[in-house]
A and B are shown apart, each in its own frame.
Chain A
Amino acid sequence: MLSPKDSPLGKQLGRYVCVRITRMDDVDVGLFDRDWNNTIYFFAMNADEQIYFRYGGRDSASPDTYLNVDSLELALRQGAEMHERGVKLPPRPKALYPREIPLLVQRTFAQRQCVECHLIGDFQNLQREQDGVLDKLTHLYRSPDIKTLGIELDVPKGLVVKQASGAAAAAGMQAGDKIVAWNGAPVLTFGDLQYQYDKVDRKSTKVTAQVERGASLEIALPERWWWTDLRLRQSSVDPRLDFEDRPLSADEKKKFGLPADGFASMVKYVSDFAKIRKTHELRTGDIIYAVDKVERDDLANTAELFLKLRKKAGQAAALSVIRDGKRIEMPLQSYQLSFRK
């Protein structure tokens, strides 16, 4: 299938010089920064490398939740109009090249391997961890999900809200609202919105959404607003645990005599790899109520999240578990998924 010049999308693309990049070796990854686990991503910019809009972005459910022909056509039209009007844009971001990331050089260039998009993010984080500057909430949990705030977009219409609930509705957001700025930064597409949302300090308690009808809505950020499912990030630096859990309810905690503010959780899935790798001997239905005798955490609401946040891949931990009503101790040995290169 082709994009004919006389199709609606083709007509908009014809207003641009289009270029496709499939190798990242010499690309300015500072200029083209994004969540590197997107399978496809676009930038519209001027010849001074100032960005009109980003197009792309994803959620944990699917790589193409927010990809749509109509919204792309709309963004292209708006970007071209901005170009024709000579709209003033923020300065070009600071340059950063893949060859400036030592671990990436060592594991790809030095081995004559292709620098794939996701490897940029993977090795940036590995480098940060090695340099002691990895902030897991910011660097590991990239691209917070707007659905956590209760924002569901009418995807073909770009940033028009289809349904608002939760924190967004409490702030006054309504179906039909069009989001035009996020924390003061103009946004034209979901890609822009997700990028700006990702830049919000993880310690923030609120975010501001400006909508086209003129309102500036202050949205209270819920607990763990930054959390996303890491399973889409196949080679990230988080400790691999071979189990998944869910938080215990207040009633369940009471029933088992556990603190109401603890992160006790119930194991809901155990990977077959747990036996092969000897990660642990957890079973579905086990309740983990402490890790290394710690039962509470400022951020984590489950043992799994506590381990992801507080342990480095490869570290061991002691789990306190309730199984069939009995309290037992159990070792866990986390591991890091080997990067492909």
Chain B
Amino acid sequence: MSEQITPVDDDKPPIAGSWKRLYTFVLLLHLVIIIALYIFTKIHS
């Protein structure tokens, strides 16, 4: 069983410049998808 604490890379993500910005992008995109689905529901109800 490995007991050592391994140093981890904490590189920037390949897009968006920082992890914080990438997480924000994913959550905002999810919000847009939910709003789009809500509008989809309203249009087809």
Do A and B come together as binding partners?
no
- Residues of B whose CB lies within 8 Å of any CB of A are none
